């Protein structure tokens, strides 16, 4: 099964690294007095860049192209919308957004991995 592969574990490790960078930069900037929304945006942007580079080079060992970057950003947008859906349902049912966020994580991880493997970074695709 694809999700039991070492490649999936590398994908998850890249996600953990990304989260650490995102949250770490957020915390550092807030500690230094930067506006929290600006700090959150900077953390997200840094994490996004690291995430793309990590998966292009490490997880999928693939050449990065503009087309692949655009497909990756589509996956990010889809996963963001999926997360919002889980959060909205959790708020409606339990008034607890964190429940939706936590429940969304495995779905977002699997969706991101499969779309990255078979669409974003598919082997043999060298489209510019």
- Compute the half-sphere exposure of residue 81: CA atoms within 13 Å on the CB side of its CA: 6
Cβ count near 65 (within 10 Å):
15
Q: What percent of the chain shows pLDDT beyond 90?
A: 92
Whether 127 has a pLDDT exceeding 90, the answer reads: no
Residue 4: per-residue pLDDT: 83
According to the model, what pLDDT value does residue 96 have?
Answer: 92
CA angle 14/18/23 to nearest 5° reads 150
**Residue boundaries of the structural domains of the chain:** 1-59, 62-128
Tens of pLDDT, residues 31-60: 999 999 999 999 999 999 999 999 999 999
Average pLDDT of span 64-74 = 97
**Taking 60 as the threshold, does the pLDDT of residue 106 lie above it?**
yes
CB 42 within 8 A of CB 25: yes
List, for residues 93-103, the tens digit of each pLDDT value.
999 999 999 99
Q: Name the average pLDDT for the chain.
A: 93
pLDDT value for 3: 79
């Amino acid at each position: 099964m694809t999700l039991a592969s070492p490649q999936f574990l590398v994908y998850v490790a890249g996600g953990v690294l990304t989260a650490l960078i995102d949250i770490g930069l957020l915390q550092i900037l807030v500690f230094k007095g930067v506006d929290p929304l600006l700090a959150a945006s900077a953390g997200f942007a840094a994490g996004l860049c690291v995430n793309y580079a990590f998966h292009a080079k490490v997880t999928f060992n693939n050449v990065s192209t503009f087309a692949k970057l655009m497909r990756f950003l589509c996956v990010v947008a889809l996963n963001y919308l999926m997360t919002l859906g889980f959060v909205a349902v959790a708020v409606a049912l339990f008034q607890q957004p964190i429940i939706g966020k936590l429940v969304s994580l495995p779905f977002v991880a699997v969706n991101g991995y499969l779309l990255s493997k078979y669409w974003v970074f598919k082997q043999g695709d060298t489209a510019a």
